[in-house]
Amino acid sequence: MTVSEQEVKRAGLTRQAIGRLYRGVPGLLIAGFIGLIITIVLTIWGVDLSGFDPGAQSLADRLLPPLTDGHLLGTDQLGRDVFSRVSVGFRWSVPVGLLATAIAATIGSLAGVAAAWKTGWVRSVLTRMMDVAISFPYLVLAVTIIAVVGHSFWALVLTLGLVSWVSFARVIYAETLRLREREYLVAARLLGNSALRIATTYVARGLRHTIAVMYAFIFADLLVAEAGLSFLGLGAPLGAPSWGNMLAASREHLFTAPWLMYAPAAAVILVVLTANLIGDGLIQHWGRGTTQH
Amino acid sequence: MTTSDRTQSVPASSEAGTALPPAVGYGRYALRQIGYRLGQLIILLLGITALLFFLLRLTGDPALVLVGDLASDEAIERVREFYGLDKPLIVQYLLFLGQAAQLNFGTSLQSFRPALDVVLEHLPATLLLAAAAVTINIVVALVVGTWLGYRPDRPERRAGLLAVIVSQGIPGFVVGLILIQLFAVTWGLLPSIGIDGPKSLILPALTLASFLLPRVIRLTATNVDQAMRQDYVRTARASGARPRSVLGRHALPNAVIGTVALIGVQFGFLLSGSLITETLFAWPGIGLLLIEAVRALDYPIVQASVFVIALLVFVVNTATDLLFPLLDPRLRSQRA
């Protein structure tokens, strides 16, 4: 048995096992969609709902606890409304995560399909690259790249995309290997379709579920990575409304104003949980139909 | 990267070991695997050093960082010459490679001591923290994972599984902040800064453990569930063994292998977590050192840290590769 067959079999087995474990855990997808709606509402209308300008400072209203003077989640060390600031954070963190995942998905899918389709040196080089890159701590790489490309929206997007494409590529590689052996693809090849046509129509179609699930998971990871980098002071620029920046600033006030930490933490957890629930829910939803054949 | 565990349980494309007929002994498998991993290590180190070397020198002029903004032009020139910063980049890189091959990464731009020495001084703290986190992971995953996976259909275990899934959405550094807020700030029970006695290990170790824990629990639960459905388990039960003894004797040992494998494979991810954990708790390990070196543009320290981290990952991954065929004879015959 070759390694590729093994990997394919393993991927199938794991999915079946996960599916079995989930049977009867109700409504992962529904819970995910509820989270998605809350996220969208807060992203678009959060600031309006709070009734405060996220940038408005007021030294008289410093460190007010939640539910005082109309501040739902209190105020921070400069008297800014926390709810409003956390809401603006959605407009920073969610796009960073989505765009970085898009970069990872594009590079990862191309590399994964190429490695599975082209045997010989292409596969050998690509799988080796994946093995090398996967074992190295991604944050170490991200920290050093960020230090160079600087602190900006696009620098973060690029760095996070570049350190995470391998996760995508590995899964796409395994899935494409599985797909290759399916009858309809064998038939498509025997009928003389060009490799490009097969890749862009049949393979892309066969991979769409996998890509959607991976998109949700990697997005969740990169959102955490962005917050983590910003927390270390190596991510978002100082003034940017990143939750990581807010969490870093909250450390000095943990005793007097713990809400400064809990509010952005809750926002991170909301978005990550939503993405994970959607990913797991999609596996549950598609799992049985797509893997058992 | 972080999500790798979702599809990967054992290193994948290692072509070494694939062509092994079952008759070939463990020794040859081990040698091939070590060779393969060594090759990976060299590729990784070359790639990363090149990337870091050129990127780090684009950030700013290290000479300016060294002497400060107010230094005279003459002083800056002298520093450039002293550190070889006046030579073309490619020459600097080749010189660097030559020195790195002899484990000489230069001297720290902050403390003026050999960079590798500084990094190695910080290694024990990182190893201690990682070992504590791995131990917590294994113990908790085996207890909770077995409980969840043994009878996954029971309502309370379904609820437990859901709780694990939910906890997967809580980032490690948020866990750390909450632990600090509760145990160090509010209740004043445990220290949250630096190394000072065994008590100071508790919060950082829990924080680092939390980076991996939910997924390790999930995998253990899945493995136990799967193992309980194997033919040999059915045979054991059919021949009258009690369910609990079947679990302990047959299902659990097989599930443990997967748990330890996942932790071994995810060791690199754990080190990512230690960057954040060490910064959060001012834990004097390599992670904190690296973050501070990046902020200060102290590139000899950055390069030496990255080298030691890559070496650490290499050692753990290779050990994982070598351990598993020993623990699980099926892996050896499967490779045929």
Q: Inform me whether the C-beta atom of residue A121 falls under 8 Å from chain B C-beta atoms.
A: no
Kindly report, residue by residue over B84-132, the tens digit of the pLDDT.
777 777 787 888 788 777 877 878 878 888 888 899 999 999 999 999 9
The Cα A174–Cα A9 span in angstroms is: 9
Q: Which residues of B touch A262 (CB under 8 A)?
A: 178
Structural domain includes residue A18: no
Q: Which residue has the higher pLDDT, B195 or B171?
A: B171
Q: Of A27-31, B289-293, B294-298, which one has max mean pLDDT?
A: B289-293
Chain A (220-249) residues lying within 8 Å, Cβ to Cβ, of chain B: 220-221, 224-225, 227-228, 231-234, 247
pLDDT at B296: 82
Do the Cβ atoms of A118 and A209 come closer than 8 Å?
no
pLDDT for B283 beyond 60: yes
pLDDT for A54 beyond 80: no
The Cα B249–Cα B236 span in angstroms is: 10
Q: Do B178 and A11 touch (CB under 8 A)?
A: no
Q: What ranges do the domains of chain B cover?
A: 118-297+310-334
Averaged confidence pLDDT in chain A: 81
Q: Do B7 and A174 touch (CB under 8 A)?
A: yes
Say what percent of chain A tops pLDDT 70: 88
CATH number at residue A259: 1.10.3720.10
pLDDT at A204: 83
Q: What is the mean pLDDT of residues A39-56?
A: 80
Phi, psi of A2 (to 5 degrees): -80, 165
Q: What is the mean pLDDT of residues A256-266?
A: 87
Chain B (275-294) residues lying within 8 Å, Cβ to Cβ, of chain A: 275-276, 279, 290-291, 294
Q: Which domain holds residue A137?
A: 46-52+67-292
Q: Which of A201-210, B61-70, B192-201, B237-246 has the lowest mean pLDDT?
A: B61-70
Q: Which of A34-43, A167-176, B22-31, B168-177 has the lowest mean pLDDT?
A: B22-31
Q: Which residue has the higher pLDDT, B279 or A238?
A: B279
Q: Which residue has the higher pLDDT, B192 or B221?
A: B221
Q: Of A22-26, B298-302, B327-331, which one has max mean pLDDT?
A: B298-302
Q: Do B44 and A136 touch (CB under 8 A)?
A: yes
Q: Which residues of B touch A27 (CB under 8 A)?
A: none
Q: What is the band of A12 on the pLDDT scale with cuts at 50, 70, 90? A: low
pLDDT at B326: 77
pLDDT at B210: 92
pLDDT at B333: 53
Task: Give the residue from A23, A34, A125, A135 with the most B CB atoms within 10 Å of its CB, the best one to mutate.
Answer: A135
Number of domains in chain A: 1
Q: Do A221 and B221 touch (CB under 8 A)?
A: no
pLDDT for A287 beyond 80: no
Kindly report, residue by residue over B27-71, the tens digit of the pLDDT.
777 888 888 888 888 888 888 777 767 766 665 666 666 666 667
Task: Give the residue from A18, A23, A148, A230 with the most B CB atoms within 10 Å of its CB, the best one to mutate.
Answer: A148
pLDDT at A21: 58
DSSP line for B119-173:
HHHHHHHHHHHHHHHHHHHHHHHHHHHHHHHHSTTSHHHHHHHHHHHHHTTS-HH
Smallest CA-to-CA distance from B195 within B312, B285, B309 is with B285
Chain B (41-100) residues lying within 8 Å, Cβ to Cβ, of chain A: 43-44, 47-48, 51-52, 55-56, 58-59
Kindly report, residue by residue over B10-22, the tens digit of the pLDDT.
343 344 444 444 4
Structural domain includes residue A162: yes
Kindly report, residue by residue over B193-231, the tens digit of the pLDDT.
877 778 888 899 999 999 999 989 988 888 888 888 888
Q: Inform me whether the C-beta atom of residue B135 falls under 8 Å from chain A C-beta atoms.
A: no
Structural domain includes residue A216: yes
Structural domain includes residue A32: no
Q: Of A141-150, B51-60, B78-87, B322-331, which one has max mean pLDDT?
A: A141-150
pLDDT for A126 beyond 60: yes
CATH number for the domain running over B118-297+310-334: 1.10.3720.10
Structural domain includes residue A238: yes
Q: How far is CA A153 from CA A107, A245, A285, in A?
A: 20, 14, 35
Q: What is the band of B137 on the pLDDT scale with cuts at 50, 70, 90? A: very high
